Amino acid sequence: MGSLQHMPSLQKHLVHQGTTFERHYCSTAICCPSRVSLWTGQLAHNTNVTNVNPPWAGGYPKFVQNGYNDHHLALWLQQSGYNTYYVGKLFNAHTIYNYDSPHVSGYTQSNFFLDPFTYQYYNVSTTKNGAPPTNPVGKYSTDIVAESANEFLDHALQDDSPFFITLAPIAPHALVGEGSLGGFDPPQVAQRHEGLFPEYKIPRTPNFNPDSPSGVSWVSKLPKLNDTILDYNDEYQRRRLRSLQAVDEIVDSVVDRLEQAGVLGDTFIFYTSDNGYHIGQHRLHPGKTCGFETDINVPLVVRGPGIPAQRVTQVSSSHTDLAPTILQIAGIEIGDKKFDGTPIDIYGKETESRSEHVAVEFWGFGLAESVFGRENGSPIYLNNTYKGLRIEAEDYGFYYSVWCHNEKELYDMKADPGQLHNLLSSKESRIDATITIADKQWPLGKIADRLDALMMVLKSCKQQSCAHPWKSLHPTGDVRNFHDALSTEYDDFYSEQVKVSFTNCEAGYIIESEGPQGFHTFEAGEGYADGGFYETPEQRALVNPNWSLWE
């Protein structure tokens, strides 16, 4: 919702001095699986950290159980000679009881926020360098991040080793726990920032509290928000923006410290978020977990040596690309690391060859982070499990999804950026419907068949099939992107392709509930072959024995 526009230091030091990636995405719009993807370079269906709650869906225990405490970005950097540092929230279920079972690996110094106090702005619990937890009561949590940032920089700059510092404030996350009236309340604000943005209102875009419902499943059943809720939501977003002012101060102080030390010109700075947020769009109460652009499109601004200043790019990228990108910057070989992403061209030199797709996936429930949103007696919306696909190029842009009850969404993002008109709903879909691409009309069914086939690859992809899914469908390499796939030569192949479907709505990744796990591959002159098709997990393992968790 344009939060970066309200952060003057970030604008001055990063946006104006670096490159903004406007089409950067998280693949799973909730914190824990998104963070694990960022640190491992793998999609959530491969990490099997799919939500925030242990024992089997997410959280720090699942991160450890699945072997990722021994395989993550900071550890790889440390093993290559970097001093590494972390302050703030790492994962959910990283608690005052399990912080040392085991300790987080890979950090020279650390100051982790711990549950159940992670989201307490004035009563956070921390473990500093593995010591027993303490509660610096009365200190604003973002200011604790700022203090640690200064300490880390002091330590790093006294050493000749390269350094990697992660600053992870909770702002603008909702207040959770003690002091929260509704379970989730607007964030608390540093006293010095109270009262800012008094006239701010959430932009009344066409998809904001629309007269007609949108989306599918529980989203399509939401009532229109009344004036009381709209006023609450506006103040909620004001408090989010106020909470970000302390984050903006960190940007200013870190850049100033690097400049004083004479190393700013040699330092790469990344600014991003684990997930997006919606407030009022599609009649939604404050929260995330949806596949809408509000939830999956997240900031990414990069400043550093050789990176063009004041550049804005529309090239698609995702959090699975960040670990390989940072390793490439550090000159560290990717080797046998099982990345689903590829390095982002942060220098703007190779955009023509960049992929145009991002895989999207979610398991579990939606949640209203508000005192409102209890139409059914609970803030929880069940069966929020879906697979999605975001594709973006100069002439076309689409969001396609299949939900666990097999409802489908297709939005033409060029004509309908607010995602109000689901072209596959009974109201919108017509036999003769077309979509315009490069001034040419294409049948809706032809578009949907291609997108579904691409999702068949991505929904269970691994490594190269995630990065180059078209090659899985067309092994000869004749199809490199969606436009290539539109050739009439492939019409029968795509119309007869295996379709994405679910057999059950699950709260986590249970592959047996996610329908067919394979697809036909195209062979010139023969249409398609069944050699790449496998329908059960057992058949999938025979074809690709490495599909399971980290080995």
pLDDT value of residue 528: 62
More confident residue, 200 or 536: 200
pLDDT band at 529 (very low <50, low <70, confident <90, very high): low
Burial 61-94 (b: 16+ CB within 10 A, else e): bbbbbbebbebbbbbbbbeeebbbbbbbbbbbbb
User: Beta partners for 127?
Assistant: 112
Single-letter amino acid, residue 96:
I
Q: What is the pLDDT of residues 124-160, one digit of tens each?
A: 999 999 999 999 989 999 999 999 999 999 999 999 9
Whether the bond between 54 and the residue before it is cis, its omega within 30 degrees of 0, is: no
Mean pLDDT of 213-233: 98
pLDDT value of residue 54: 81
pLDDT band at 3 (very low <50, low <70, confident <90, very high): very high
Mean pLDDT, all residues of the chain: 93
Percentage of the chain beyond pLDDT 90 is 88
Percentage of the chain beyond pLDDT 70 is 93
Q: What is the pLDDT of residues 428-452, one digit of tens each?
A: 666 679 999 999 999 999 999 999 9
Enter the tokens of residue 249: 């101060």
Residue 550 in this model has a pLDDT that exceeds 80: no
Architecture of domain 3-359: 3-Layer(aba) Sandwich (3.40)
Least confident of 170-174, 313-317, 542-546: 542-546
pLDDT value of residue 520: 96
pTM comes to 0.94
Q: What is the pLDDT of residues 297-331, one digit of tens each?
A: 999 999 999 999 999 999 999 999 999 999 999 99
Enter the tokens of residue 171: 């702002």
pLDDT band at 183 (very low <50, low <70, confident <90, very high): confident
Pairing of strands 184-185, 175-176: antiparallel
pLDDT band at 530 (very low <50, low <70, confident <90, very high): low
Domain boundaries, the chain: 3-359
pLDDT value of residue 527: 59
pLDDT value of residue 186: 97
pLDDT band at 233 (very low <50, low <70, confident <90, very high): very high
Q: What is the pLDDT of residues 403-422, one digit of tens each?
A: 999 999 999 999 999 999 99
Active site residues: 31
Three-state SS at 462: coil
Residue 539 in this model has a pLDDT that exceeds 60: no
Query: DSSP string spanning 352-398?
Result: GGS--EEEEEE-S-EE--SS---TTSSSEES---EEEEEEE-SS-EE
Q: What is the pLDDT of residues 359-407, one digit of tens each?
A: 999 999 999 999 999 877 899 999 999 999 999 999 999 999 999 999 9
Q: What is the pLDDT of residues 71-119, one digit of tens each?
A: 999 999 999 999 999 999 999 999 999 999 999 999 999 999 999 999 9
Mean pLDDT of 43-71: 94
Spatial contact of 140 and 122, defined as CB atoms under 8 Å apart: yes
Which backbone phi and psi does 521 adopt, to 5 degrees?
-110, 145
